[in-house]
């Protein structure tokens, strides 16, 4: 009983009622970030009409029109509220476009190899989920290793992700001077991480201690990615990284 209640409230520390209430109340503040994500996704060209959507939640930051290009979606989340709220937000448009959606309450990290094997001809989108891995697995070394190994598990697949890279408290930020930053090959190499992260943090007038989500090696260095600022709460910002890896399937 206690476990069911805890799952409803925080879904293992990464979602649940807490997340949904916060997301609902933050819609206006998050709008610039949602627009950046929409712009990024509009430039991605998924190879398949079947999508595996990881960490869908209610799709608070997901543009509905991007979803309607698919004919089939399998959506995965551990949050017991995800299916109902996702359908509330996107269901009508998806039904109108005759898209078939199937929800799975499943740990998409643990079951990833099985999911990929079940759906060999599907594109994959991690929807702001990978930055949460650190909250679920407390061992930093294991988290970094698993996130880094994802690109091997996904080798040959058509996939993308938007995820937290860094987050923390800030002073007042002039949002007009903030823009997304395109990170091209070689600008975010392994040995530049510390300096590069420092410059990102600096651009948001950071103060206090910032949190590293250990996602900086999710993509290999040759994948162009975009860094997107996100005002998660007033005076608490995240840098998100978005990228799409399109390799040929064997
Ligand atoms: C930051 S929320 C983002 C939600 C969604 N993309 C949106 O726009 O509302 C992260 C979501 O990922 C889910 N999640 C985290 N780790 C997961 C995992 N290993 N497998 C499946 N879902 C996971 C959480 O339950 C939560 O709903």
pLDDT digits (tens, 9 = 90+) for 108-147: 999 999 999 999 999 999 999 999 998 888 899 999 999 9
Report the range of poorest mean pLDDT among 54-58, 99-103, 128-132, 200-204.
200-204
3-state class (DSSP) for residue 225: strand
C-alpha–C-alpha distance, residues 141 and 99, integer Å: 40
Ligand 1 centre and the CA of 234: distance in Å?
A: 22
Q: Which residue has the tokens 């989340």?
A: 77
The enclosing H or E element of 15 equals: none
Beta carbons within 8 Å of 188's beta carbon, 6+ residues apart: 196, 216, 221, 225
- Give the pLDDT band (50/70/90) at residue 190: very low
| φ, ψ at 102 (rounded to 5°) | -125, 125
Higher pLDDT, 76 or 227: 76
- Give residue 122's pLDDT: 98
For ligand 1, the distance from its centroid to the CA atom of residue 203, given in whole angstroms, is 27
Q: Does position 191 have pLDDT exceeding 60, yes or no?
A: no
How many CB atoms lie under 10 A from the CB of residue 112? Answer: 20
Q: Tell me if 132 CB under 6 Å of ligand 1.
A: yes
CA distance 71 to 49: 5
Looking at per-residue confidence, does 91 or 187 come out higher? 91
Residue 182 in this model has a pLDDT that exceeds 60: no
Measured CA to CA, the distance from residue 27 to residue 4 in angstroms comes to: 27
In this prediction, residue 247 carries a pLDDT of 67
Structure tokens at 127: 């929807």
For residue 127 and ligand 1, the question of a CB distance below 6 A is answered with yes
Nearest residue by C-alpha to atom 1 in ligand 1: 128
3-state secondary structure of 17: helix
Give CA separation, 93 vs 65, 74, 90, in Å. Answer: 8, 16, 6
Determine the Cα–Cα distance for residues 169 and 209; give it in Å rounded to an integer: 7
Q: Is 244 helix (H, G, I), strand (E, B) or coil?
A: strand
d(CA 234, CA 119): 40
Atom of ligand 1 nearest to the CA of 82: 27
CATH class of 2-246: alpha beta
pLDDT tens for 40-49 read 999 999 999 9
Higher pLDDT, 100 or 7: 100
Report the percent of the chain where pLDDT is more than 90: 66
Determine whether the shortest distance from the Cβ of 52 to ligand 1 is under 6 A.
Answer: no
- What DSSP state is assigned to residue 234? T
What is the arithmetic mean of pLDDT over 13-18?
72
Reference 215, options 188, 237, 234; nearest CA is 188
Q: Is the pLDDT of residue 210 over 50?
A: yes
Ramachandran sector of residue 164 (left: φ over 0; alpha: ψ -120 to 50; beta: rest): beta
- Spell out the domain ranges in the chain: 2-246
Helix (H, G, I), strand (E, B) or coil at 207: coil
In degrees and rounded to multiples of 5, residue 240 shows phi and psi of -100, 150
């Amino acid at each position: 009983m206690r476990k069911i209640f805890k799952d409803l409230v925080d879904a293992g520390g990464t979602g649940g009622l807490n997340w949904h209430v916060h997301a609902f109340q933050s819609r206006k503040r998050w709008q610039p970030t949602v627009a950046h994500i929409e712009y990024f996704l509009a430039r991605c060209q998924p190879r398949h009409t079947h999508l595996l959507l990881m960490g869908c939640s209610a799709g608070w930051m997901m543009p509905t029109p991007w979803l309607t290009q698919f004919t089939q979606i399998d959506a995965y989340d551990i949050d017991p509220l995800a299916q109902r709220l996702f359908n509330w937000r996107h269901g009508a448009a998806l039904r109108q476009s005759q898209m078939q959606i199937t929800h799975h309450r499943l740990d998409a990290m643990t079951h990833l190899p099985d999911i990929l094997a079940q759906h060999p001809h599907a594109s994959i989108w991690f929807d702001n989920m990978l930055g949460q891995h650190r909250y679920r697995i407390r061992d930093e070394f294991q988290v970094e290793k698993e996130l880094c190994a994802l690109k091997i598990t996904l080798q040959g697949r058509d996939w993308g992700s938007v995820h937290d890279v860094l987050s923390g408290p800030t002073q007042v930020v002039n949002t007009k001077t903030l823009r997304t930053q395109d990170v091209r090959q070689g600008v975010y190499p392994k040995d530049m991480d510390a300096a590069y992260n420092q410059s990102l943090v600096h651009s948001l007038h950071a103060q206090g201690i910032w949190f590293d989500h250990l996602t900086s090696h999710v993509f290999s260095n040759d994948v162009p990615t975009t860094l997107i600022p996100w005002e998660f709460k007033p005076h608490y910002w995240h840098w998100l990284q978005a990228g799409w890896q399109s390799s040929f399937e064997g």
